[in-house]
Structure 1
């Protein structure tokens, strides 16, 4: 059975370009990796600011949106967050989504396809990676960076350059190795 990779669109705001970048990466990962790849759009979960009455470690979720999100995260063996940065930080939607569940993230590798202006979203990625150890996630250092992303979107379709394709290959290979290695810990 194939390991499942959730490609998570981390921006929910109107006019976002995240789905264009995520659609490219999802299709590329499905073609070039052994993962069973699923596109997960945070906008479709419509998670309000954390509203569960109990701590997420208890996994005693009261709200349907939390249960649906928990199932999506729990089903994955690895994650790629497709994310911009907002004011040098991760998106509020990503911070909220990471906070909603706890144990579901454990013993799974994750990396990023980041995009934006000159920095290509790397400052948000650097901050987000610091949270992974507490959630028992493995941050894979290989990632894809898309600076000046608007120059690569034509008619709503993201067109990667050679470096981004090569970076995706390296990242997918490492994610799969780590997902396999951590599988026994996920029980």
Structure 2
């Protein structure tokens, strides 16, 4: 007799890593959110670092201790803890990712751990070098930084009225990244619950 497994609703957070004026990350994030939500196989949430407005990390206690005395840091920890996986959306700045995203990642430690991270990079080279830099940092936080990523080039040609319009190739690649992210999210969710 087969035992039916309970269906798990996984929560995937899409994190927009650019906060500058005139950014393209918001429209790319909204497009990715709509595409992911339309699938119906995960719960998705769009998180915009510009709305969180995290000041540069200067708190006395290192996040690795998990002792959050700062109210905003605790709110950020509570929000990030809700997710089973993350899709980071970041442009490439000088062969790396944004300082705002680095700052947001550095605010916490345990909340990121043992969860997968997928990526959307954009810029002249599709954000490839920036995503590579981000992977190294996330691995240090005990995350499963996935090898697959969506690299968008010439995004300015696909934005009209502040709306990103990904082509068929972009949609197919995003779904490939989401499939991978969902698989790892489920596997690591189950592993965390066994411990």
TM (norm. structure 2) is 0.92
Structure-1 residue corresponding to 2:180: 174
Residue segments in structure 2 that go unaligned for 5+ positions in a row: 1-7
Structure-2 residue corresponding to 1:145: 151
User: Following superposition, which runs of at least 4 residues in structure 1 exceed 4 angstroms of deviation?
Assistant: none
Structure-2 residue corresponding to 1:74: 81
Q: Distance in 1 between matches of 2:116 and 2:26?
A: 22
- Residue correspondence of structure 1 range 18-29 to structure 2 within 5 A: 18-29=25-36
The question of whether the paired residues in 2 share the 8 Å contact of 1:46 and 1:65 is answered with: no
Q: Distance in 2 between matches of 1:121 and 1:97?
A: 19
Answering whether residue 116 of structure 2 is matched by residue 109 of structure 1, we say: yes
Residue segments in structure 1 that go unaligned for 5+ positions in a row: none
TM (norm. structure 1) is 0.95
SS across alignment from 1:105? coil
Answering whether residue 111 of structure 2 is matched by residue 100 of structure 1, we say: no
Answering whether residue 134 of structure 2 is matched by residue 128 of structure 1, we say: yes
Q: CA deviation at 1:33?
A: 4.8
Structure-1 residue corresponding to 2:192: 186
Determine which structure has more spread, i.e. the larger CA radius of gyration. Answer: 2
Q: Distance in 1 between matches of 2:44 and 2:37?
A: 6
The alignment of Structure 1 onto Structure 2 pairs a total of residues equal to 186
SS across alignment from 1:39? strand
SS across alignment from 2:126? coil
SS across alignment from 2:68? coil
CA RMSD of aligned residues (A): 1.1
Q: Distance in 2 between matches of 1:100 and 1:127?
A: 18
SS across alignment from 1:151? helix
Structure-1 residue corresponding to 2:52: 45
Q: CA deviation at 1:80?
A: 0.4
SS across alignment from 2:67? coil
SS across alignment from 1:27? helix
